[in-house]
Structure formats: C-alpha cells, structure tokens
C-alpha cells in the first residue's frame, strides 16, 4: 500500500513538471487511499476504546475478575472465528499459501509473538484491577519509545542525542502523570509495564512478519491466536480458580460479546501495523489515548488532577516532536532542538536515512 502511494505521488510530480494536470483516475486513487486509511484509523480508535472500557467492566470483582481466563476466551473465539471465515470465505486469506510453503520457518516467528501476546493480554487485563483506565493510558504514551529501544536492540535503529532527549522527555512526562494518581498502585503499574514491553515486542515482530513475509491480517491472526491460546491455557491450568466456571456460566453473554470485539480489534491491529508500521500504529494509538482519557473523565467520573493533565500534555508534545523528527527531520522545531543539544546539522544522506527508517 505504501509503495502504491509513493508511485502515485511520483506520477503526480512528473505530470506537474510537464505542465499536465493529474488525471481524474489518479486523483480518485489518492482520495480512496486517504479515505481508506482514515477509516481504518477511526475504526481502530473506536473498537479499541470500546474494548478497553468493556474489559474494565469485565474485570470488576462482581463480574469476571480472572485476567488469564478472559484472555484465553479472547484467543479461543478469535481462533474459531478465523477458522469459520476460512472455511466459508477462503479468499479473505490470500497469503495462506505463504504460510503453508514456509510453515517451519514461520513457526519460529509465531511462537515469540504468541508468548508476547499472551503476556500483554494478561498484564493489561490484570492492571484494570488496580488502576483507572486514564492512568493506564498515561503509561501507554511511552510505547513509541519502547518500540524504538527494541528496534535499536535488534539493529533496526541507532541512538543519538536528540532521540535520547525525546525518550527522557516522554518517560518523565509519563512518570509524573502516573505518580500523580490519587490511588497509586505499584502492583498495577508493574502489570501494565510488563504488558507494554510485551506489546511493543509483539508489534516489532508483527511488522517483520506482516510486511517482510507479506502476510495478510486475517492469516496472521489465524496463526497467532492458537499459539497465544496454548500459552494462556498452560497458565490457566497452573493457576486455576474454581470460581471461574460459575462466573463464566453466569456472564457467558457478556464474555461472548467481549471476545467478538476483541477479535475485531486483533484484525484491526494487524491491519494498522501492516499499513502504517509499528511506530505508525503507536502514533495512531495516541489519538485513541486522548479519546479514552477524555471519555473516562467526562462519562465515567475518573478523577484526573491538574498536574496529571499538564504532564499528559507534555508527554503528547514529546511524542509529537518524535513523530515530526521521523517525518520531517529538517523542520524548524527539530533543527532548533538539535542546536540546543549542540548537534551539527545533519547531511543530506543523514536526512535520507531518517526518512528511510521512519517505518520502524
């Protein structure tokens, strides 16, 4: 999709240099691409926000406060839904033949992705027992930096003073936001932190598989879900609670609806990562975080202090500067920050390198 956009832009530039007007087909193509990606982002924000509030409700002590069991149900329904869809509409899994041809090799990718997914689901659901939704969203602002650090660890990115400064900027803002919570819970923060590291690792690995191996989102979900389910079943057996089955029987309708929304989100997440990259997915999530924090305050009465609001704004500014550095490294704000850090202006080749790695 991204290659198509670049080709289209190149065609339009060539037409302009020759004094020609872009054809109606080219203009329509660009409009369709923009509309598709905008609809994709809005769908992800809406479904993710709904699931977060739904999970918070499900984890209430009087409903279904079993994070491992809830996560396993999510994966079971996702696996069943993918199986049914593949039987009825096999054309919706265009890259299934790639998996069949590279089955052994891809297993070694799906295993760590499944483990990270399981840890992420358990940690995020368990954190709802200890912290408000707003506080957990404050913490998630650090995800873009975690993705960058993981990318550095695997050799996809390099560190410089500007990037280190922005990482510290965002982490300090997130820390102040969380520490200002009136009901601070170190246990909840720990669960959320482990969940975020696992989620970011999954995103980087997922981008490699989705883009590098050319898998479609449904095929990706069809193989990640059972891998994740196996990990979660083992964890459930090891920590089984006799109250799980009675609670599941009482609230099975809510569990089914919750799991169906989770399946929709899993497919949307894979699609967004494939279309926008891991960092693009995190940046899209920033808008979602703002929406969730706002709704949590206005509709659900979760208290946010003035200090938390200010530090949240500071964190968003840091992430905004980060995205600007990746998209437009020669922009005045980025140049100004480089001068403050006594960094000489980068060369044309360095600028091109920044632009080339903005997908990571």
Is 6 a member of any domain?
Answer: no
Determine if residue 185 is left, alpha or beta; phi over 0 gives left, psi from -120 to 50 gives alpha, anything else beta.
beta
CA–CA separation, 138 and 298 (whole Å): 16
Q: What is the mean pLDDT of the chain?
A: 78
Query: How many whole angstroms separate alpha carbon 199 and alpha carbon 205?
Result: 10
Please tell me whether the overall predicted TM-score, pTM, comes out greater than 0.75 for this model.
no
Task: Kindly tell me if the per-residue pLDDT of 195 is higher than 90.
Answer: yes
> What is the rounded CA–CA span in Å between residue 160 and residue 293?
32
Contact (Cβ atoms closer than 8 angstroms) between residue 51 and residue 128: no
Can you give the pLDDT at residue 1? Answer: 41
pLDDT at residue 4 greater than cutoff 60: no
Work out the angle between the directed axes of helices 252-298 and 306-327 (0-180°, nearest 10): 100
pLDDT of residue 66: 93
CB contact at 8 A, 170 and 142: yes
Q: 271 lies in a domain?
A: yes
- C-alpha neighbours within 13 Å on the C-beta side of residue 331: 14
H, E, C per residue of the chain: CHHHHHHHHHHHHHHHHCCCCCCHHHHHHHHHHHHHHHHHHHHHHHHHHHHHHHHHHHCCCCCCCCHHHHHHHHHHHHHHHHHHHHHHCHHHCCCHHHHHHCHHHHHHHHHHHHHHHHHHHHHHHHHCCCCCHHHHHHHHCCHHHHHHHHHHHCCCCCCCHHHHHHHHHHHHHHHHHHHCCCCCCHHHHHHHHHHHHHHHHHHHHHHHHHHHCCCCHHHHHHHHHHHHHHHHHHHHHHCCCCCHHHHHHHCHHHHHHHHHHHHHHHHHHHHHHHHHHHHHHHHHHHHHHHHHHHHHHHCCCCCCCHHHHHHHHHHHHHHHHHHHHHHCCCCHHHHHHHHHCCCCCCCHHHHHHHHHHHHC
User: Within a domain: residue 1?
Assistant: no
In a domain, 28, yes or no: no
Instruction: Tell me the pLDDT tens digit for each residue of 49-72.
Output: 889 889 989 998 899 999 999 999
Task: Give the range among 37-41, 134-138, 220-224 with minimum mean pLDDT.
Answer: 134-138
Cα 52 from Cα 131, distance rounded (Å): 13
Q: Residue 299: which domain range? A: 37-359
Domain count, the chain: 1
Q: Is residue 60 part of a domain?
A: yes
Q: Is residue 203 part of a domain?
A: yes
Residue 293 Cα distances to 50, 287, 289, 301, angstroms: 13, 10, 6, 11
Q: Is residue 164 part of a domain?
A: yes
Q: Region 81-89: what's the mean pLDDT?
A: 92
pLDDT digits (tens, 9 = 90+) for 125-170: 888 888 877 778 777 777 777 887 887 887 767 777 888 888 788 7
CB within 8 Å of 228: residues ≥ 6 apart:
75, 114, 115, 117, 118, 121
Residue listed under structure tokens 């990270």: 116
29, part of any domain: no
The highest-confidence range among 21-25, 261-265, 278-282, by mean pLDDT, is 261-265
Q: Report the candidate in 195, 210, 35 with the shortest Cα–Cα distance to residue 130.
A: 195
Separation between Cα atoms, residue 78 and residue 110, nearest integer Å:
15
């Amino acid at each position: 999709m991204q290659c198509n956009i670049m080709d289209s832009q190149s065609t339009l530039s060539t037409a302009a240099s020759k004094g020609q007007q872009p054809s109606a087909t080219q203009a329509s193509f660009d409009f369709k691409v923009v509309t598709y990606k905008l609809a994709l982002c809005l769908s992800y924000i809406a479904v993710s926000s709904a699931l977060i509030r739904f999970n918070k409700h499900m984890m209430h002590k009087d409903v279904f406060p079993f994070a491992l069991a809830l996560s396993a149900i999510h994966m079971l329904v996702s696996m069943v839904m993918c199986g049914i869809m593949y039987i009825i509409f096999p054309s919706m899994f265009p890259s299934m033949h790639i998996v069949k041809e590279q089955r052994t090799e891809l297993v070694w990718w799906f295993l760590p992705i499944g483990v990270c997914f399981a840890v992420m689901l358990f940690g995020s659901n368990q954190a709802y027992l200890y912290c408000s939704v707003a506080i957990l969203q404050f913490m998630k602002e650090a995800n873009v930096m975690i993705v960058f650090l993981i990318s550095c660890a695997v050799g996809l990115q390099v560190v410089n003073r500007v990037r280190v400064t922005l990482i510290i900027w965002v982490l300090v803002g997130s820390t102040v936001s969380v520490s200002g919570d009136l009901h601070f819970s170190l246990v909840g923060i720990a669960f959320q932190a482990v969940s975020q590291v696992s989620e970011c690792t999954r995103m980087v690995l997922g981008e490699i598989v989705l883009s590098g191996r050319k898998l479609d989102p449904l095929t990706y979900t069809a193989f990640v879900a059972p891998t994740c389910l196996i990990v979660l079943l083992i964890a459930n057996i090891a920590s089984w609670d006799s109250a799980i089955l009675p609670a599941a029987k009482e609230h099975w309708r809510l569990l089914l609806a919750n799991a169906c929304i989770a399946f929709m989100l899993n497919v949307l997440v894979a699609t967004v990562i494939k279309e926008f990259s891991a960092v693009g997915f995190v940046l899209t999530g920033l808008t979602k975080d703002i929406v969730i924090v706002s709704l949590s305050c206005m509709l659900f009465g979760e208290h946010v202090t003035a200090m938390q609001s200010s530090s949240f704004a500071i964190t968003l500014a840091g992430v905004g500067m980060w995205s600007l550095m990746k998209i437009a490294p020669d922009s005045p704000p980025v140049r100004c920050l480089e001068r403050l850090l006594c960094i000489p202006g980068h060369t044309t080749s360095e600028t091109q390198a920044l632009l080339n790695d903005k997908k990571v």
